[in-house]
Structure 1
C-alpha cells in the first residue's frame, strides 16, 4: 500500500451492507477494510495513513456509541455513523461525542462520498498536528502542557525551575512549531492531541444513560 494512501474502515454486522460500502469506497479510489463487530475493529493495529470509520449505530455486543468511546480513548479518528432508524436522541449523542456525520439508510452515494472526503481531510489535518507535536523538544512539550492550562510565564517558570525569559522563548517556539496564532488555537490543538486539560470532567462520550 502506498504510504499516502487513505483507508476507510467499515464496521457493520450486515455483510451485504459491508460489501456495498466497500464497492462505493473502492470506486472512489480509497482502500476499504471491513469488520463485522467493534471488537474486531479494536483488535486491528493502528495505522499511520489518513483514515476514517463508517460505523453502524446498532451493533451486537459493543454498540456503535460504545465503540466511539473506546476509539476516543485511544486516538482521534473521524467517524461517520450509519443508522437505519433516524433515531434523533442517538444522533444527537453521537454528534455531541464528536461524530463527523450521521447518515440514514438508504445511503445516497454522493452524500456518502462527500462525508468520507471531509473525514479523510480531517484525518490528514490530525496527522499534520501530530507531526508538529513530534517536532517539539521535551522541554517545549512541558511548557506547552502548562501554557494550555492558563498559567502565566512566571508560574510556568516556577513549576519547571527555569527563568521567565526561558519560558517565553520556549513558548514562542511552541507557537511557531504548532502553527498556532493564538492561545485558544493552541488549546484546541492540545485537546485534539489528547493532552490533559483542566475542567474536562464531562461524562464519557458515547455512553448511553442508565434507564
Structure 2
C-alpha cells in the first residue's frame, strides 16, 4: 500500500485529456494511492495553494496554461516533486521544465509498472533527503559551485562518487535520461568537456586546500 507513517499518499494528476486522467487514476489507486485529478492548470493551482500531495503528474500540453506555465506559476520551492507528462515530440519542452525545477518526466505511451516505480523512487528519495541533516553534503567547496542549483549539486555528488546515470537516478528518484540533462547542464556551467573534467574541477580545489 502507498502509505507513509500510516497516512495514504496522494497524487495530483493534471491533464486536460479525460482518458489519460482516468488511466493514471486507475494505475495509482490500484497501488493504494489517493488520487485527485484536475482538467486544467487553474484548478490545480487553486488546490496546490491549500495542500501539498506526495507527487504531481502534470501534462506538458494543455489549453490555456501550458504545463510549463503552470510549473512556473507553482514556483521552484513547491513541496512535492513534479513529473511532466510528455510525448516523444515534447522532450525539449520537458527538458526545459526540468531546468525550471520539474523533478522528472514521464513519456507516453505509459507503462504502468514503470510509472509506479518512478513515482515510488521519487517519494522514497524525498523521504531520505528530508531525514538528512540540513546542509549535509559530500563534496568540499569548489570553484563554480555557486552556479549550480541544489539538484545539480546532488547529481554532481553522485557523478563525483563514480555512480552511473542509472545508479544516480535510482538514488535521487529520477530517470537516467534526466540525470543526463542535469549532467549536460553541469558541464556547461563548469566548463567541463567530459566526466573526467568534472572530477578534476571538483577535486582540484580540495587538493589545494
Calculate the TM-score normalised by the size of structure 2: 0.57
Structure 2, unaligned runs of 5 or more: 152-209
Cα deviation 1:66-124 (Å, max 9, x = unaligned): 11112225524211111234323212212222323222211011111111112222443
Choose which of 62, 68, 80 in structure 1 pairs with 2:65: 62
Secondary structure of 2:8's partner? coil
Please tell me whether residue 13 in structure 1 is matched to residue 10 in structure 2. Answer: no
Aligned to 1:110: 113
| RMSD (CA atoms) | 2.9
Instruction: Specify the structure having the higher radius of gyration (Cα).
Output: 1
RCO higher in structure (CA 8 A, sep ≥6): 1
Structure 1, unaligned runs of 5 or more: 130-176, 193-211
May I ask how many residue pairs the two structures share in their alignment? 140
8 Å CA contact retained: 1:52, 1:123: no
8 Å CA contact retained: 1:82, 1:104: yes
Cα deviation 1:16-54 (Å, max 9, x = unaligned): 110110000011111111000111011114336x61111
Secondary structure of 2:118's partner? helix
Choose which of 43, 50, 53 in structure 2 pairs with 1:46: 50
